[in-house]
Amino acid sequence: MGRGAVNPWEAPLPILTQEQLQTIWRAAGSRRRAERTDGDTIPAGSRNEALTSLAGTMRRRGMNEQAIEAALIVVNDTQCEEPLDEREVRRIARSVARYGVDDPASAVAPQEPGGEPMSRAEYLRSRLMPLSEWALRPEPEVGWVMGPFVVRGERTIIAGPTGHGKSLFSLALARAIASGRGMLRYTQVTQGPVLVVDAEMGERSVRKRIDELGLQEESDIHYWCLPDGILFDRDEELALLEEAVTRIKPVAVIADPLFKMHSGDPSDNQHAVEVMRGLDRLRVEHDFALVIVAHMRKAMQTAKGQKPELALDDIMGAGSWLFGAEIIMAVQRAGGRSTWLHTWKHRDGAFTADGEPWEWGEGMKSMVTFTPEGVWQWADSVVVEKEEFEGGMSVPDAIIEVLKAESGTWMNSTDITAKTGRHSKRIANALSRLLKDHPDQPIERRKVGTSYHYRWMEGNRYRPVEDELDL
């Protein structure tokens, strides 16, 4: 090469328009269609991997999203055995273009914490191993954002009838996270920005809510007021959400309400899967907790003219809206400033309160109250069952009745369970809460071996007896 000559491999790439790129790629595609063998065809099971890998290569060479998209569309049309939906191709281009030109994470799948970037195929292969090897891996940390209600990287559904306090409760969660103060005695909080996407309330209602809850100085709650709705089943509007998430970097995103965030039939399972796939992708890639507020169907009247107990199946729309949600809850106004808090699903299996195990599940609910300033508190009778709402006796009251009947006699939880006829775990949970929240009750406790025994001592204030007895 003569002196002063430019090495063609080091020369800068020319900037091409999208139309020029499409012309080049379509011409190349036409030639390849005429010449390709079976080995050139991208089979149906490898389309995403192949297109993502190609997109990563183009991104590392400096191509922008529009150029990557144009190229992928041509390759998808000309080389895929069964072309992907064009929306999926655009999603791949948009996802890869988020990374920097020199970022080796271009075209990679999720990776192990602290590990090297890997292709999607490598990532999928790495997740296959014997259970004995899984057992040796360190336990992943739980990304608590607000107690057990909101967890980083997971999806929470908060449902409830119209006007029962869903939005108020979700905004209380936002304040608890943004302030770092927590709520309902939960102190496991990751303080950080919260993005609230409100597709229901107008500006006037939002201003009223700000004044009512004293949020005038709250700069870490970013409020997106969209009373006409936003449609996350449209790529361009989902991209706007991703743009907001990228800029704000929230630890939690609250979307309220679900039915105003898509344009399809809410009873269509396939449509629900597609909408949630886009939102779930964002929560995983951007590592935020996703909280979705959903409405219940209109409740029918019972024979006695009362509304029936809320159930998971009463949430509006197809069941697919709930698939993949780690936590599903509901709020139901009980009267005045009291609200039933139902929990129907928690993938980890249990909540904890003040370090005490607390079993929640279908058929379990608790009473909470809220002040005019929107501060939520547990009511005195914390854990209750369906019977109480229907006029029966609560678990704490049943325990007190049994202990009173056997006044002065030591009884363990097994004895109390047998006499009350209630579930053993509910008895254990209620005993813990009863002793902690009602120290005025004349209940005495002592440890015998590995278990606790209790007795009713009329006229005596509760005091724990911690001396272990070798009986």
How deeply is 57 buried, as exposed, middle or buried, from its count of CB atoms within 10 A (0-12, 13-18, 19+)?
middle
Q: CA 255, CA 221: separation in Å to the nearest integer?
A: 13
Q: Is the pLDDT of residue 13 over 50?
A: yes
Beta strands 464-469 and 443-448: pairing type?
parallel
Greater confidence, 418 or 360?
418
Residue 411 bridge partners (DSSP):
454
Residue 367 bridge partners (DSSP):
340
* CATH T-level assignment (fold) for domain 393-469: Arc Repressor Mutant, subunit A (1.10.10)
Least confident of 35-49, 222-236, 320-334, 430-444: 35-49
Confidence of residue 170 (pLDDT cuts 50, 70, 90): very high
Q: Each residue of 355-412: pLDDT tens digit?
A: 333 444 444 567 777 776 667 776 644 433 333 433 346 677 788 888 888 888 898 8
Question: Which residues belong to CATH 1.10.10.10 in the chain?
Answer: 393-469
Cα-based torsion angle of the residue sequence 31, 32, 34, 38 in order, rounded to the nearest 10 degrees: 180
Task: Specify whether the CB–CB gap between 124 and 113 falls below 8 A.
Answer: no
Greater confidence, 61 or 196?
196
Q: CA 316, CA 280: separation in Å to the nearest integer?
A: 20
3-state secondary structure of 383: strand
Could you tell me the two tokens for 123? 């990532």
Q: CA 253, CA 261: separation in Å to the nearest integer?
A: 14
Could you tell me the two tokens for 22? 């499409």
3-state secondary structure of 2: coil
- SS3 for 300-313 is CCCCCCCCCCCCHH
Go through the chain and tell me how many residues it has.
471
Q: Where does 257-350 show beta strands of DSSP type E?
A: 289-295, 327-335, 338-346
Can you give the pLDDT at residue 15? Answer: 61
Q: CA 280, CA 323: separation in Å to the nearest integer?
A: 11
Greater confidence, 359 or 321?
321
Through-space distance between the first and last CA atoms of the chain, rounded to whole angstroms: 97
Could you tell me the two tokens for 119? 């292709």
In this prediction the pTM is 0.58
Scanning the structure block, which residue is given the tokens 């344009």? 263
Q: CA 368, CA 340: separation in Å to the nearest integer?
A: 6
Task: Specify whether the CB–CB gap between 134 and 309 falls below 8 A.
Answer: no
Scanning the structure block, which residue is given the tokens 């939002």? 206
How many other C-beta atoms lie within 10 A of the C-beta of residue 218?
Answer: 16
Give the count of alpha carbons within 13 A of 374, CB side only.
21
> Between vectors from CA 462 to CA 456 and to CA 464, what angle results, nearest 5°?
100
Q: Is the pLDDT of residue 150 over 50?
A: yes
Can you give the pLDDT at residue 225? Answer: 95
Q: Is the pLDDT of residue 208 over 80?
A: yes
Most confident of 102-106, 345-349, 446-450: 446-450
Q: CA 424, CA 415: separation in Å to the nearest integer?
A: 10
Confidence of residue 258 (pLDDT cuts 50, 70, 90): very high
Q: CA 138, CA 174: separation in Å to the nearest integer?
A: 31
3-state secondary structure of 104: coil
Least confident of 194-198, 269-273, 284-288, 467-471: 467-471
Q: CA 400, CA 408: separation in Å to the nearest integer?
A: 13
CATH class for the region spanning 144-381: alpha beta
Can you give the pLDDT at residue 426? Answer: 73
Q: CA 381, CA 203: separation in Å to the nearest integer?
A: 38
Q: Is the pLDDT of residue 460 over 70?
A: no
Q: Is the pLDDT of residue 22 over 80?
A: no
Question: Which residues belong to CATH 3.40.50.300 in the chain?
Answer: 144-381
Q: Where does 391-459 show beta strands of DSSP type E?
A: 411-412, 443-448, 451-456
Q: Which of 408, 419, 417 is nearest to 451 (CA)?
A: 417
Helix (H) or strand (E) holding 58: helix 47-60
Can you give the pLDDT at residue 471? Answer: 28
